[in-house]
C-alpha cells in the first residue's frame, strides 16, 4: 500500500482498518476524472520544469495505458485507500519510484475536490440532454392535444376546465426551472481547485492558471483552506437533483391517478402497464409509482450530504469521504428517472370523451359565468354569489352547468342571459382565458414557444460543457 506505508514510512494498516477506511469500492467510478486531472497536473509540472520532460512522458504513457484499460473494461485496481492511490500504485508498478513525481504540489485533498467537480460537470451535461429530450417530448405532445379538454384540480377537487396542452405545458414549466437550476450548479462547479495542496498551497513554482485552462474551468478557487473543505457545489447538485425528482414525482402522481377507474382519463399501453400476481384484471401504473418513489432516494442523497458537512471544522476532514455514495448515485438516478418518465408519457393515451365528460358533468365553468357577469358591470362578489346560486340550482335539478337552459337561468335572475351562459359551455370557457399564462389557445401557444426555447437552452448548455473524453484526448497529445 502506498498511502500509509511506502509513502509515509509508517507501519502497514490493519486489514480491518483498511477495509473500514477505504473508499475505493465507490470512487473507482471516478477513474476517468482522476486520470484527466492527473494528465493536466503532469503537463503543468513538466512545463514548469518541476518534472523533467522524459520522466513526464513516461508517466503520461502510463496514465494513457490505465485510461485505455479502463475504457476496455480490463482495468484491475489494486487494494488501496482510494482511487487516487490506486492509480499511483499502478504507475509505480510500471515505472518504479519515478512515478512518485506526479504527486508533487498535489494532495489527495485537492485531487478529490477536482475529481468531484469534473464528475458533477459531466453529469450536468447528461442531465441537460435528458431534460431537453423530456421537455421537447412534452411540447410535441402538447401540440397535438390542444383539443383535449379535462378538469384542472386544486385540493384534488375539480377546479376549472383546461386543455391537455396547458397541463403538459405546466409540466414543461417545472422542468424548465430545472434547466436553470442545473445551470446554477454548473456555475458553482466551474472553479479549478487543483494546486491548493492539502490546505495551504505549495512552495513549488506551479501554474494553477495553466491547469485551469487545460481542464476548461472558468476560474480558480480562491482559498485553499476553503477549497479542500468545500462541498457546496455538491450540495447545490444534490438539491437541484432532489427538486427535479420532486417535479417528476408530481407528474407521476397525476398519471397514477388518471389511470385509475375512478378517473379513467388515460389508458396505459400494455408495454408499460404491470400486472398482478393474483388478480388477472389488473393494469397497474408501476412505472409512474416508481418514478414517484425514487424521489425519496434523491432527497436522501441531499440530506446525507448536509448531515455529513454539518459541524465540520475548516479544512478537509475524513468525514467528507462519505460524500461519494450520494454524489455518485445522484446522476444515474436522475437520468434514469427522466428517461423512463419520457418513455412512460409516450405510452399513455388520453380518453378524450371521458376527460370532456368529467368537465361537462360538473360545474367547473362557474368562475367563467361569474366573470361574464363582471363584464356586464356587476361587482365580482355579487357575480360570484349569483353564479353560486345558479350552480346550486343546477345541482338540485341534476343538470350539469354546461347544459343549463336560458329559461332555468333567468328564473333565478334575469341577468343570467344567453351571453353570460355562453361562458358555461366547456370549450368556450377554455377559449375565454386570454390572460398570459392561462389555458387559452393563444397563451398556450406562447408557453410552448417558451418551452422550445428552453429545449434549445438545455441542448446548448449540454454541448458547451467540456467532456472528459475530449479533454483526455487533448491532454494525451498536449506538449509537455
Residues 117 and 245 in one domain: yes
Say if residues 369 and 420 touch (Cβ distance below 8 Å). yes
Domain-located, residue 432: no
CATH code, domain with 373: 1.10.40.30
| Residues 307 and 414 both lie in one domain | no
Instruction: Report the predicted TM-score, pTM, of the whole model to 2 decimal places.
Output: 0.94
Average pLDDT value for residue range 197-224: 98
Instruction: Flag whether 399 is in a domain.
Output: yes
In a domain, 439, yes or no: no
User: Comparing C-alpha atoms, which of 475, 477, 445 is closest to residue 168?
Assistant: 445
Specify if 437 maps to a domain. no
Q: Are residues 24 and 128 in the same domain?
A: no
Q: What is the pLDDT of residue 6?
A: 46
Phi first, then psi, for residue 151 (nearest 5°) are: -75, 145
| Domain end among 52, 79, 104 | 104
Same domain, 346 and 375: no
Question: What Rg value do the Cα atoms of the chain yield, rounded?
Answer: 30
Do 221 and 198 sit in the same domain of this protein?
yes
Q: What is the CATH number of the domain that holds 285?
A: 1.20.200.10
Q: For the residues 178-197, what does the mean pLDDT come to?
A: 98
Query: What would the pLDDT profile of 411-432 be if each residue is shown by its tens digit?
Result: 999 999 999 999 989 998 899 9
Reduced to 3 states (helix: H, G, I; strand: E, B; else coil), residue 275 is coil
Are 337 and 248 within 8 A, CB to CB?
Answer: yes
- Among candidates 424, 417, 383, which has minimal Cα distance to 403? 424
Q: Which of 327, 314, 129, 153 is nearest to 241 (CA)?
A: 327
Give the percent of the chain with pLDDT over 90.
Answer: 88
- Residue 465's nearest CA partner among 30, 41, 126 is 126
pLDDT at 311: 94
Within-domain flag for 440? no
| Residue 431 within any structural domain of the chain | no
Domain for residue 476, yes or no?
no
Give yes or no for residue 8 having a pLDDT over 90.
Answer: no
Domain boundary among 86, 104, 122: 104
Q: How many domains does the chain fold into?
A: 3
Mean pLDDT across 346-375 = 93
Same domain, 189 and 122: yes
Identify whether residues 121 and 63 lie together within a single domain: no
Cβ count near 174 (within 10 Å): 17
Q: Beta strand pairing status for 149-154 and 157-163?
A: antiparallel
pLDDT digits (tens, 9 = 90+) for 115-172: 999 999 999 999 999 999 999 999 999 999 999 999 999 999 999 999 999 999 999 9
Rounded average pLDDT over 197-217: 98
Confidence grade of residue 46 (pLDDT, cut at 50, 70, 90):
very high
Same domain, 326 and 411: no
**Would you state the pLDDT for residue 7?**
46
pLDDT of residue 3 exceeding 70, the answer is no
Using 50, 70 and 90 to split pLDDT, how confident is the model at 284? confident
> What's the domain range around 38?
2-104
Q: In which band, very low, low, confident or very high, does the pLDDT at 5 lie, cut at 50, 70 and 90?
A: very low
Q: Give the model's pLDDT for residue 19.
A: 86
Are residue 289 and residue 221 in the same domain, yes or no? Answer: yes
Judge if 379 and 462 occupy the same domain: no
Q: Domain boundary residue among 104, 135, 161?
A: 104
Q: What's the confidence (pLDDT) of residue 10?
A: 59
Q: What's the confidence (pLDDT) of residue 283? A: 82
Pair 329, 398 in one domain: no
Q: Which of 4-18, 139-153, 308-322, 448-462 has the lowest mean pLDDT?
A: 4-18
d(CA 340, CA 137): 12
Residue 480, in any domain of the structure = no
Question: Is 467 found in the same domain as 387?
Answer: no
In this prediction, residue 272 carries a pLDDT of 86
* 1 has a pLDDT exceeding 60: no
The residues carrying an active-site annotation are 155, 276
419 Cα distance to chain centroid: 48
- Report which secondary-structure segment, H or E, holds 220: strand 219-220
> Which cell goes with 401?
352547468
Which helix (H) or strand (E) segment holds residue 210: the answer is helix 208-214
Amino acid at each position: 500500500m502506498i498511502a500509509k506505508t511506502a509513502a509515509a514510512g509508517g507501519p502497514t494498516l490493519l486489514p480491518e482498518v483498511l477495509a473500514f477506511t477505504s473508499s475505493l469500492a465507490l470512487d473507482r467510478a471516478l477513474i476517468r476524472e482522476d486520470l484527466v486531472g492527473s494528465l493536466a497536473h503532469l503537463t503543468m509540472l513538466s512545463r514548469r520544469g518541476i518534472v523533467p520532460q522524459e520522466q513526464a512522458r513516461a508517466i503520461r504513457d502510463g496514465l494513457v495505458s490505465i485510461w485505455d484499460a479502463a475504457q476496455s473494461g480490463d482495468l484491475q485496481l489494486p487494494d488501496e485507500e482510494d482511487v487516487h492511490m490506486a492509480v499511483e500504485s499502478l504507475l509505480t508498478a510500471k515505472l518504479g519510484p519515478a512515478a512518485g513525481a506526479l504527486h508533487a504540489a498535489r494532495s489527495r485533498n485537492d485531487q478529490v475536490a477536482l475529481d468531484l467537480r469534473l464528475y458533477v460537470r459531466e453529469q450536468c451535461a447528461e442531465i441537460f440532454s435528458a431534460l431537453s429530450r423530456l421537455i421537447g417530448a412534452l411540447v410535441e405532445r402538447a401540440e397535438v392535444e390542444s383539443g383535449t379538454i379535462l378538469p384542472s384540480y386544486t385540493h384534488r377537487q375539480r377546479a376549472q376546465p383546461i386543455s391537455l396542452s396547458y397541463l403538459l405545458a405546466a409540466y414543461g414549466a417545472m422542468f424548465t426551472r430545472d434547466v436553470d437550476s442545473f445551470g446554477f450548479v454548473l456555475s458553482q462547479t466551474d472553479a479549478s481547485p487543483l494546486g491548493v495542496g492539502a490546505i495551504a498551497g505549495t512552495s513549488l513554482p506551479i501554474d494553477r492558471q495553466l491547469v485551469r485552462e487545460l481542464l476548461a474551468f472558468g476560474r480558480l478557487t480562491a482559498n485553499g483552506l476553503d477549497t479542500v473543505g468545500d462541498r457546496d457545489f455538491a450540495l447545490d447538485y444534490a438539491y437541484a437533483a432532489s427538486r427535479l425528482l420532486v417535479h417528476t414525482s408530481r407528474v407521476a402522481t397525476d398519471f397514477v391517478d388518471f389511470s385509475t377507474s375512478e378517473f379513467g382519463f388515460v389508458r396505459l399501453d400494455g408495454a408499460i402497464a404491470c400486472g398482478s400476481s393474483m388478480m388477472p384484471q389488473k393494469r397497474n401504473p408501476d412505472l409512474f409509482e416508481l418514478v414517484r418513489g425514487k424521489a425519496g432516494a434523491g432527497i436522501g442523497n441531499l440530506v446525507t450530504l448536509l448531515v455529513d458537512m454539518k459541524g465540520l471544522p475548516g479544512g478537509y476532514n475524513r468525514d467528507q469521504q462519505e460524500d461519494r455514495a450520494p454524489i455518485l448515485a445522484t446522476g444515474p438516478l436522475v437520468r434514469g428517472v427522466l428517461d423512463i418518465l419520457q418513455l412512460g408519457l409516450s405510452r399513455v393515451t388520453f380518453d378524450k370523451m371521458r376527460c370532456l365528460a368529467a368537465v361537462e358533468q360538473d360545474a367547473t365553468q362557474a368562475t367563467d359565468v361569474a366573470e361574464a357577469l363582471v363584464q356586464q358591470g356587476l361587482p365580482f362578489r355579487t357575480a360570484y354569489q349569483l353564479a353560486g346560486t345558479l350552480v346550486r340550482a343546477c345541482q338540485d335539478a341534476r343538470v350539469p352547468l354546461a347544459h343549463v337552459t336560458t329559461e332555468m337561468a333567468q328564473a333565478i335572475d334575469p341577468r343570467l342571459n344567453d351571453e353570460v351562459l355562453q361562458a358555461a359551455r366547456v370549450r368556450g370557457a377554455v377559449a375565454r382565458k386570454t390572460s398570459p399564462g392561462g389555458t387559452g389557445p393563444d397563451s398556450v401557444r406562447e408557453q410552448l414557444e417558451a418551452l422550445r426555447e428552453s429545449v434549445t437552452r438545455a441542448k446548448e448548455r449540454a454541448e458547451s460543457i467540456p467532456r472528459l473524453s475530449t479533454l483526455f484526448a487533448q491532454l494525451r497529445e498536449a506538449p509537455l
